[in-house]
């Protein structure tokens, strides 16, 4: 379609792509933004072999079509599927329902047949858009084909290895030394229980409880004697002027290894515990 085909201003709308970018919709055709200036934005058809385009002004108002016509017919069903997938993605972010249940509800709401859906858009596009695995979409399609319920039956899946009481013991074990690795925590837990859990299980339990690993914040290492000496010196020199400071010699400093820890320590904590004392690591000047 070109500007000579119609004198009417077309109705335009926008969609959001998988990469969070805007897509322009006019008369069933979908356009991607090619480039933009301060006054004009240039849009091209999303089909790579089609050179049709549209120009919009800075307020997203239609200006004109390009001279190249579309080399294909519009596919209204594909536009409906894009809208359906956008609704599914927004519901997945908001609701706690299973993805399969949301997918099935939106499919019925869109009034699209499964065969038509699969002929227009494949499962790779769906799971790439929703951020789920291909097996998830395949299982949903199989359940829909055989009219099976989309919810998981109770009792399915691997049983949880630890109990609530054992998980609480693991949390208390971690709080005694927050810089212990998950492998060390698993070893300590296994030595006090008759079961054996892996370091990965430890990380999952702590992550589900809200604890993540953060880099320890460095702070100057100060003994109580350092603090009292600094306070005493500050009180003595509080009334000094420029001539008094001219009698003081400032010497260079040397590097001494005190802690000798070159690796980066981590600490497990909640996001709200960033200012707790265990989140800081005393360091001397020079990192030693």
Residues 58 and 121 in one domain: no
The domain tally of the chain equals: 3
Q: pLDDT, tens digit, for every residue of 35-52?
A: 889 899 999 998 888 889
Which residues have C-beta within 8 Å of that of residue 9, sequence separation ≥ 6? Answer: 62
Give the range of the structural domain holding residue 137, as residue numbers without chain letter: 76-145
pTM for this predicted structure: 0.39
CATH number assigned to the domain comprising residue 38: 2.20.25.240
161 is a domain residue: no
Q: Is the CB of residue 141 less than 8 Å from the CB of residue 134? A: no
Residues 197 and 281 in one domain: yes
Q: pLDDT, tens digit, for every residue of 139-164?
A: 777 777 677 776 666 666 677 888 88
Q: What are the residues facing 29 on neighbouring strands?
A: 26
33 is a domain residue: yes
What whole-number distance in Å separates Cα of residue 33 and Cα of residue 51?
13
CA nearest neighbour of 170 among 186, 181, 194, 183: 186
Q: pLDDT, tens digit, for every residue of 179-225?
A: 888 999 999 999 988 889 999 999 989 988 888 888 887 777 788 89
Half-sphere exposure of 122 (CA within 13 A, CB side): 2
DSSP designation for 11: P
Half-sphere exposure of 204 (CA within 13 A, CB side): 8
Determine phi and psi for 146, rounding to 5 degrees. -95, 10
């Amino acid at each position: 379609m070109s500007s000579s085909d119609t004198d009417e201003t077309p109705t335009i709308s926008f969609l959001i792509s998988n990469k969070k970018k805007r897509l322009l919709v006019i008369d069933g055709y979908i356009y991607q933004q090619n480039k933009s200036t301060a006054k004009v934005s240039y849009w091209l058809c999303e089909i790579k072999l089609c050179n049709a385009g549209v120009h919009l002004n800075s307020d997203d108002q239609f200006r004109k079509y390009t001279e190249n016509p579309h080399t294909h017919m519009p596919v209204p069903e594909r536009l409906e599927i894009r809208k359906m997938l956008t609704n599914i993605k927004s519901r997945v972010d908001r609701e706690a329902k299973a993805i399969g249940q949301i997918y099935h509800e939106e499919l019925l709401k869109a009034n699209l047949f499964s065969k038509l859906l699969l002929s227009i858009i494949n499962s790779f596009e769906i799971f790439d858009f929703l951020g789920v695995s291909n097996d998830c979409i395949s299982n949903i399609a199989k359940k829909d084909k055989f009219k099976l319920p989309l919810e998981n039956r109770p009792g399915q899946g691997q049983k949880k290895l630890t109990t609530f009481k054992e998980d609480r013991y693991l949390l208390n074990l971690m709080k005694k030394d927050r810089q212990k690795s998950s492998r060390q925590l698993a070893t300590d837990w296994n030595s006090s229980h008759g079961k054996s859990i892996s370091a990965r299980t430890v990380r999952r339990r702590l992550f589900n409880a809200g604890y993540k690993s953060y880099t320890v914040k460095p702070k100057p290492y100060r003994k109580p004697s350092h603090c009292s000496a600094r306070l005493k010196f500050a009180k003595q020199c509080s009334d000094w002027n420029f001539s008094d400071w001219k009698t003081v010699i400032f010497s260079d400093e040397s590097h001494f290894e005190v802690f000798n820890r070159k690796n980066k320590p981590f600490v497990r904590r909640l996001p709200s515990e960033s200012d707790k004392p265990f989140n800081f690591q005393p360091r001397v000047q020079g990192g030693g």
